[in-house]
Amino acid sequence: MTKRPEAMAAFFNDRATIYDQQQLINADGGIEGYQRLADFIPTATNQILDLVCGTGLELAAIFAKLPTVKVTGIDLATNMLAQLRKKYADRNIQLINADYLQADWGPTNFDVVITVMSLHHFTTTEKLTIYERVFQKLPVGGRFINCDYMIGNNDQTQADSFAKAQQQALTAYHLDDQHRYHLDTPLTVKTEQHLLRQAGFAAVQQVWSNHNNVMLLAEK
Ligand SMILES: C[S@@+](CC[C@H](N)C(=O)[O-])C[C@H]1O[C@@H](n2cnc3c(N)ncnc32)[C@H](O)[C@@H]1O
C-alpha cells in the first residue's frame, strides 16, 4: 500500500529546525546551487520575489552580493519562515505566509523572480499558470531563475511514473488538492524549458546543474 502523503505545510513545519542541514546533504550539488544562483542576479537589482523562500537558504549568497536588496518571500510553512526571520533579522525582507498559487504577490513589479526547490510538486498545467504569472510580474529584460529537482537526463518515462505514483497516492487516500501534499512530480528539463517559452520567455537556458538539480534562467 502506498504511504499516505503528508500535507505540505505540516511536512515542512515539522522539519523546519533541521531543514537547512538536511537540505544541503540531500540536494544534488549541496550548497553550490544556492551559491551559483546569486551569480545570475544582476548587480542593479532592487527587488526580488522569492516564491517559496522556506528558511531562506538561497538568500545568504544573494545578501552577500546585494546587502540592501529588497526581498519579498512567500511560503506556506510558518515554522520555515520563523527560521528565515531569525537568520536575516537585519535585512530588507517582506514575508507572506500563504499558498503562492492563491496569494496576491503584491502590486510591485520585481526585477528578478527566483524559486528554489519548489516547483517539483506541480503539474504541467499548474506550472504554466505560475510561469505566465511570473512573466507578468517582470519588466522586459527581467529574469526568472528556477532551480529545482528536474529529470536531468530528460527521460520522459521517469516523469510519467512520478505522475502515475502521485495519482495512485491521491486516489488511495481520496485526496484531491494535489499541490498541498508532499509528493514529488519532477518534469524533464526539456518540458520545463518548453513551458517557460510557452509562458512568453524569449530566452531560456540551463545555467547550472548537478544530476537532477537544475537551474534554468529565463529572460523576458
Ligand atoms: C524544499 S523547500 C524549499 C525552500 C527554499 N527555497 C530552499 O531551497 O531551501 C519547499 C518549500 O516550499 C513551500 N511550499 C510548498 N508548496 C507551497 C505553496 N503552494 N505555497 C507556498 N509555499 C509552498 C514549503 O513550505 C517549503 O518551505
What's the gap in Å between 81 CA and the centre of ligand 1?
Answer: 10
| CA neighbor of 110 nearest in space, from 83, 74, 79 | 74
pLDDT score of 187: 97
Kindly state the average pLDDT of the residues 186-199: 98
What's the gap in Å between 12 CA and the centre of ligand 1?
Answer: 8
pLDDT score of 177: 64
Ordered strands of the 203-210 beta sheet: 93-97, 70-75, 47-51, 112-116, 143-149, 213-219, 203-210
Q: Evaluate: CB of 117 within 6 angstroms of ligand 1.
A: yes
Question: What is the separation, in whole angstroms, between the first and last Cα of the chain?
Answer: 45
What's the gap in Å between 77 CA and the centre of ligand 1?
Answer: 7
Q: Evaluate: CB of 101 within 6 angstroms of ligand 1.
A: yes
Q: What is the tens place of the pLDDT at every residue in 135-155?
A: 999 999 999 999 999 999 999
* Band (84; pLDDT cuts 50, 70, 90): very high
CA dist., res. 127 & res. 42, Å (int): 25
Structural contact between residues 74 and 103, judged by C-beta atoms closer than 8 angstroms: yes
Of all residues in the chain, what percent carry a pLDDT higher than 70? 98
What's the gap in Å between 54 CA and the centre of ligand 1?
Answer: 5
Please check whether residue 22 lies inside any domain of the structure: yes
| CA neighbor of 148 nearest in space, from 197, 96, 193, 87 | 193
Atom of ligand 1 lying closest to residue 74 CA = 21
Please check whether residue 106 lies inside any domain of the structure: yes
Q: What is the tens place of the pLDDT at every residue in 33-72?
A: 999 999 999 999 999 999 999 999 999 999 999 999 999 9
Structural contact between residues 183 and 169, judged by C-beta atoms closer than 8 angstroms: yes
Phi-psi map region of 94: left, alpha, beta (phi>0 left; psi -120 to 50 alpha)? beta
Please check whether residue 48 lies inside any domain of the structure: yes
Please check whether residue 139 lies inside any domain of the structure: yes
Per-residue pLDDT at 13 exceeds 80: yes
Per-residue pLDDT at 107 exceeds 90: no
Please check whether residue 152 lies inside any domain of the structure: yes
Please check whether residue 3 lies inside any domain of the structure: no
Domain hosting residue 190, numbered range: 8-219
Per-residue pLDDT at 176 exceeds 80: no
Q: Which helix (H) or strand (E) holds 51?
A: strand 47-51
Instruction: Please state the domain count of the chain.
Output: 1
- CATH number of the domain where residue 136 is located: 3.40.50.150
Please check whether residue 2 lies inside any domain of the structure: no
Please check whether residue 147 lies inside any domain of the structure: yes
